[in-house]
Amino acid sequence: MSHYDCIIIGSGIAALAVASQLCEKLNVLVLTKGAIRTSNSSLAQGGVAAAIRKDDHWTYHYEDTRYAGCFHNSHDAVELLVQKAQHEMEMLIEQGMNFDTNEQGELQYGMEGAHQKPRIIHAGGDATGKELINFYIQKVNEKVTMIEHVMVTDIAIDTNRAIGVWAKHRDDHDAVLYKGAHIVLATGGCGALFEVTSNSSIMTGDGLAMAYRAGARLIDLEFTQFHPTMLYVNGVCKGLVSEAVRGEGATLVDENGRPIMEGVHLLKDLAPRDIVARTMQFERLKGHHVYLNISSIQSFKSRFPTITNLCLREGIDLESGLIPVAPGMHFLMGGVETDLFGRTTVDRLYAVGEVACTGVHGANRLASNSLLEGIVFGRQLASIIENGTLDRKNSTLIQSGATRFALPSKKEIQSIMTTYVGIERTETGLKHALSFFEQFVSEPTFFTNNVNVFTKKEVEIVNMLTIGWLMTKSALKRTESRGGHFRCDYPTENEVWRQQRISFSRREQIGVR
């Protein structure tokens, strides 16, 4: 058993932003399920949104974030994000981060959906996430303890206070307890609950499920963003095609060359993601194929080298000017409820990045606000920890009783979520999904069981069941269409949007299941 000042679970942009600020003063441990350089953040292509140009202003960025979020956003969270954006980017540049510039050495700005202005700064063309992760790893290298390919299975709790984490290095070994004065969840989202996703296959909602078992409150889980343009080859998702491609002038067309966004929205192909994804889904259900027409983009291969290599690897002829695409689960706007400093409803347990919900994204995230969120709120969280107390509880923790019970396969869960809790939802479909999940979560010890009795793959399934159940319940409760939550039986988005948030915590649900 080891003791640390701060334990960070995850290795994406939010995790590394926290670690980079704490590593000079504190003893920091980073535990990550995969490899350090293969987080969801490293897959981010578009860039970072920041109102830096002379003809731009943070108030425009604020308006765009609120509009994309269907005004479900937290005013304070959005204001904090957009006001700090320029300062954070300038600090990164001063520290040596190389964003793309023109021949005059000026930052290049991309345009993406629902933005009024070109304000997306990028690196490596379309490899911004990868470049940022490499930059942060250099900052924290040898200053923090990093352990790869270890799965954190649960949060150790003593009297509503997080005091450590249980982790499995290999399936055939017992879980190890790491104790820490502060525990940070930076585990990303839950895209792997769906059949088609831009996320890494290990994004099974682990941090969300662990927080729920620990007694933390989760919020707004019904708001799931489907990215319109996943490379789609022979019925299989092969990777993300950045929204920046449409920002450079690409259009969505069917097999006959008909622009499918004509007459749908004033911004056409740069409409908010939920609107574009639903339009594509509608066309696909009518039997049409959907393509990105890139023929108008000059120097496509040099501007988008990552996407070019992805397409060539999958046998796509870019000279044809058409890239086959389909929507896929991309981002969860809800998550573990936190304040503006990452504090959850459990003492000394924090959440940051996609696993957290500050309310900054509302019902639908604005393009290229995710990397920015990780950086801004990562520093916010770090400031609380570095100025706080490092006292530890000398608890003797004994793992609770363990019971094995039958679990479905990942594919069964993914099929249910994609069919009934996907881009479009109905009461009938959601109730069918809920019935499926309640076969398992109704097990008396499901939420109190010692999950370490299971293998790592089985713990993933337990987590997927937990979050699938909560997302379905949330989607049933919100009887309106709003942003990433579209109810076919309540399709009108011109209703007066309710401002209440739908939250769940395990303690509140006891006796209700």
The tokens describing 137, both together, are: 């790893």
Per DSSP, the three-state class of 16 is: helix
Q: How far apart are CA 486 and CA 469, in angstroms?
A: 18
Q: What local confidence, expressed as pLDDT, does residue 148 receive?
A: 96
Q: Which residue stretches of the chain have pLDDT < 50?
A: 494-496, 510-513
If we measure between CA atoms, which residue out of 323, 269, 368 comes closest to residue 44? 368
Q: What local confidence, expressed as pLDDT, does residue 249 receive?
A: 95
Residue in this structure with the two tokens 């001063």, named with its chain if needed: 94
The tokens describing 397, both together, are: 């923790």
Residue 482 is a catalytic residue: no
CB proximity list for 171: less than 8 A, separation 6 or greater: 455, 456, 457
β strands within 23-96, DSSP E: 28-31, 48-49
Q: Which domains does the chain have, with CATH numbers?
A: 226-327 (3.90.700.10)
Phi/psi class of residue 262: alpha, beta or left (left: φ > 0; alpha: ψ in -120 to 50)?
A: beta
Residue 121 backbone dihedrals phi, psi, to 5 degrees: -90, 145
- Could you tell me if 111 and 120 are in contact, meaning their C-beta atoms sit under 8 angstroms apart? yes
CB proximity list for 310: less than 8 A, separation 6 or greater: 231, 238, 239, 241
If we measure between CA atoms, which residue out of 421, 113, 422, 457 comes closest to residue 268? 113
- Could you tell me if 376 and 358 are in contact, meaning their C-beta atoms sit under 8 angstroms apart? no
DSSP per residue over 355-408, as a string?
GEE-SSSTTSPPTT-HHHHHHHHHHHHHHHHHTS----------PPP-------
The tokens describing 106, both together, are: 């000026």
- Could you tell me if 29 and 143 are in contact, meaning their C-beta atoms sit under 8 angstroms apart? no
Q: How far apart are CA 238 and CA 86, in angstroms?
A: 34
Name the active-site residue from 66, 119, 217, 273: 273
Distance of CA 365 to the CA centre of its chain: 10
Residue range 251-297, pLDDT digits in tens:
999 999 999 999 999 899 999 888 999 999 899 989 999 999 999 99
Q: What local confidence, expressed as pLDDT, does residue 499 receive?
A: 56
Give me the residues paired with residue 3 across strands: 179
Q: Please give the angle made by the CA atoms of 84, 90 and 91, to the nearest 5 degrees.
A: 85
